[in-house]
Amino acid sequence: MGIMKLQQEIGVPIQLGSILHIDNQAAFTQIKGEDTSGRSKHIDVRYKFAKHLKKKKMLKVQYCESKSIRADILTKTLPAPRLSQLRGLVMITG
């Protein structure tokens, strides 16, 4: 969201409705605004910002299967075949 403020300051048109691809069903449900269990109250605060952005139509939340998440290459330890597959998707060659 800081990028949006920067775009405003330098006069670049802002594209609203960034898409958040998420592979966690519980997080997806919370951001959509559905009821959560009592056991997740301690993390509700973390989702309020995303809910706020969704309500203002600045964020769209879309569920994706884990195998479709390209960011895994930067956030998880992966087996060699999966690493090669993701490297091809994000165009890292070498």
**Helix H segments across the chain?**
2-10, 25-32, 44-55, 72-75, 80-89
Read off the pLDDT of residues 50-81 as tens digits, 9 standing for 90 and up: 888 888 888 888 888 887 787 888 888 989 99
Q: What is the pLDDT of residue 37?
A: 60
Domain boundaries, the chain: 2-63, 66-94
For range 22-42, the mean pLDDT? 72
Tokens representing residue 76 in the block? 């998880």
CA angle 86–92–94, rounded 5-degree value: 120
Q: What is the pLDDT of residue 34?
A: 63
